[in-house]
Structure 1
Amino acid sequence: MITPPYLKSGAKVGIVSPATTVSATEIEEGLKILKSWNLEPVIGENAHNVYGCFAGTDQERLEDLQKMLDDDTIKAIIFTRGGYGTIKIIDQLDFTNFKKNPKWIVGYSDITVLHSHIHTLEIETIHAVMLQGMPRATPESVASIKTALFGESLSYKIAKSQKNKFSENTVEGTLVGGNLSILFALNGSVSDIDTTGKILFFEDIDEYLYHLDKALIALKRNNKLANLKAILVGAMTNIKEDNLPYGKTDYEIVLDEVKEFDYPVYFDFPCGHQPDNQTLILGRTITITPDGNSVTVTFKN
């Protein structure tokens, strides 16, 4: 995988809204944080547009993102928020210049569309809190974005849990994934990720238990779960029952769908739609090491 250049003090970062609309007030605090890191935000022309629920028309959102992808003075693109909409423009984006001059793509949730598509180009990306969410995220989560962007060391601990399908062996592999519903939507498309021999991360929000099961079954039927090194499950936030009780919890569904495979599964990874939303470098090799009453996840530099 290709690692985009790490940021230096004074770097310009593009601010783009590829999905749901967001006001200038909603990202004001996030912009202050970027400036406190001595970064120079460059806000897309259409970043605060409104077209239904979207931040402008498909063409307006496409033009903003394409401009930032092509501008070599922009060293990272940090998204304002997720929601829905990135999948509507992904096939119209031209990554020709981006492949020649890669830069960090920073976001999560709906931005999983870009993470997955860019991983097919063999380029790393950053899964992290976006500008709208920075005021509600823990200080450690926000600080971890800077840590990743500036090339410092990243590692996290996960407490041992009865939910986990544990292994006493150290596991190493490339980390891929993102929002489970988006991975489900991309399944079988040109933006679909290759999971063979890799460590899969996923999280989700506001979905029904049956949808979680359906998404995992779809991935399994497309051979996405058979040859993994491990699974890391982040926050499963507001996962709901339908009118009829499903009969299993979210973690029981996950374990049931992978029960025939012998790799470990670790729940409660500190990442997803919650205040403790730590930064991940997707496409990066990580190690998962048993450590007493916890496991340590370390990103290789």
Structure 2
Amino acid sequence: MQRILKTLLITLIFITSAQAQDQMKIPPYLKKGDTVAILATARKIDMAPLKPAIALLKSWGLNVVTGKTVGLDNNQLAGADWQRATDFQEMIDNPAIKAVWCAKGGYGTVRMIDRVDFTKFKKNPKWIIGFSDATVLHSHINNMNIATLHGIMCISVPNATNEAKESLRKALFGETLAYTIPAHPFNKKGTVTAELIGGNLSVLYSILGSMSEPDYKGKILFIEDLDEYLYHIDRMMMNLKRNGYFANVKGIIIGGMSKMRDNDIPWGHDALEIIQDITKEYNIPICFNFPAGHIHDNRALILGSEVTLTVTESGTKVTFN
């Protein structure tokens, strides 16, 4: 009997330990007096465009430090790959820094991500904030079972709506986060609770097959994009479909599909029509026109967090649990 009880106890400890390892870590929420670091992981940026973002953080009672990448100039990029990686490394390893806010997107984060050592970060995670090219960071870190914050970047602040800025504040300070939006004719009704993943469609497409690719199975997928040819949207969506990603997700949220381009011979469908046609066969809740992405009303989303997506005839509700 003692041997059986000992075996059961060891099994229970093993299962509990495994569950703890699989559980998503939510970084500590901010409080007044905490320090946020602003840096560039992709395109270059000077100090002047960052002043509104710095003022916003200070209005929330937070302190601000800027990284060494601010002001660096390496053609399009904010310094060499090693400089951007080193700046990011120093900020995530610094215990005094409670959040890291990407100054700007564009392209370049994927060039520095593999130079970063996340050993200390895994033990003491902090909020990583941004969208667009920062999708690389979100997916890479979500794979470590650590939540991240998809929201406006520093350069977005002057044109962001009050709702977008307030949603970022609520997310950072751990206040209730829930959105109710109008219905869209392409929506598919249903309710599901699952982990939220995703970000920029082009970036997600570009990291397929890499160690930064997110695990789509059983998740709610959020996608958005900007300034793509319409046939590119079709090509990326078809790739995800043919590789079984849409068959594995439990729900889809489509954000802004902004400033799309077309060829001299028109593709014949806009971005939402393309997405609706490719996803219509799946019996899962799908929400169109969610206010997030390359739009002024870019609401904050906690990627890696469990959310409840409810799509009805009257509208859509997304609640962060």
TM-score in same-fold range (> 0.5): yes
Q: Aligned letter for 1:159?
A: P
SS in 1 for 2:254: strand
Highest Rg: 1 or 2?
2
Q: Which of these residues, 196, 208, 229, is aligned with residue 175 of structure 1?
A: 196
1:20 to 35, 40, 43: 43
Q: Which residue of 2 aligns with 1:95?
A: 118
Q: Is the 8 A contact 2:285 2:311 kept in 1?
A: no
Instruction: Give the Å deviation of 1:14.
Output: 1.2
With over 3 angstroms needed to count, the CA separation of the structure-2 counterparts of 1:250 and 1:56, relative to structure 1, is same
One-letter code of the match for 1:93?
A: V
Q: How many Å apart are 1:158 and its aligned residue?
A: 2.0
Alpha carbons of structure 1 residues 125 and 202: separation in structure 2 relative to 1, 3 Å:
same
Q: Secondary structure at the match of 2:247?
A: coil
**Counterpart amino acid of 1:14?**
A
| Aligned partner of 2:132 among 90, 109, 117 | 109
Give the residue type in structure 2 aligned to 1:102.
Answer: P
Range with greater deviation from structure 2 (233-242 or 257-266): 257-266
Q: Which amino acid aligns with 1:258?
A: T
Alignment of 1:65-144 (within 5 A): 65-144=88-167
Give the alignment of 1:39-54 within 5 angstroms. Answer: 39-54=62-77
Within a 5 Å distance, the mapping from 1:124-273 to structure 2 comes to: 124-164=147-187, 166-167=188-189, 169-273=190-294
2:306 counterpart of 1:285 = yes
Contact map agreement 1:187 1:219 (CA 8 A) in 2? no
CA distance in 1, matches of 2:279, 2:312: 24
TM-score normalized by the length of structure 1: 0.96
State the shift of 1:290 in Å.
4.3
Number of residue pairs matched? 298
Query: How far off its partner does 1:291 sit?
Result: 5.8
Alpha-carbon offset, residue 202 of structure 1: 0.5
Counterpart residue identity of residue 287, structure 1: T
Counterpart residue type for residue 118 of structure 1: I
Q: Which runs of 5+ in 1 are unaligned?
A: none
Equivalent position amino acid for 1:81 in 2: K
Does the 8 Å contact 2:287/2:311 carry over to 1? no
Amino acid at match of 2:271: D
TM-score after normalising by structure 2? 0.90
CA contact (8 A) 2:103 2:153 kept: yes
Q: Which runs of 4+ in 1 moved over 6 A?
A: none
Q: CA deviation at 1:251?
A: 1.4
- Cα deviation for residue 137 of structure 1 reads 0.3
Map Cα deviations across residues 236-277 of structure 1 (whole Å, 9 max, x no partner).
001111222112221121122223321122111000111110
- 1 CA distance for matches of 2:178 and 2:205? 28
Q: State percent identity of aligned pairs.
A: 45
Structure 1 pair 292–225 and aligned structure 2 pair: CA distance change class (3 A): closer
> Which has the larger share of helix?
2
> RMSD of the TM alignment (CA)?
1.1
Taking the aligned partners of 1:296 and 1:260, their CA distance within structure 2 comes to 22
**What CA distance in whole angstroms lies between the structure 1 residues aligned with 2:96 and 2:114?**
24
Query: 2:257 & 2:119 partners in 1: Cα distance?
Result: 36
Aligned residues of 2:191 and 2:285 also touching (Cα < 8 A): no
What SS does the aligned partner of 2:36 have?
Answer: strand
Deviation by residue 1:37-77 (Cα, 9 ceiling, x = unmatched): 11111111222211101111111111100101111111110
Deviations along 1:139-169, whole A, 9 cap, x unmatched? 11011111000000011112112122x21x3
Q: Distance in 2 between the 1:217 and 1:94 partners?
A: 34
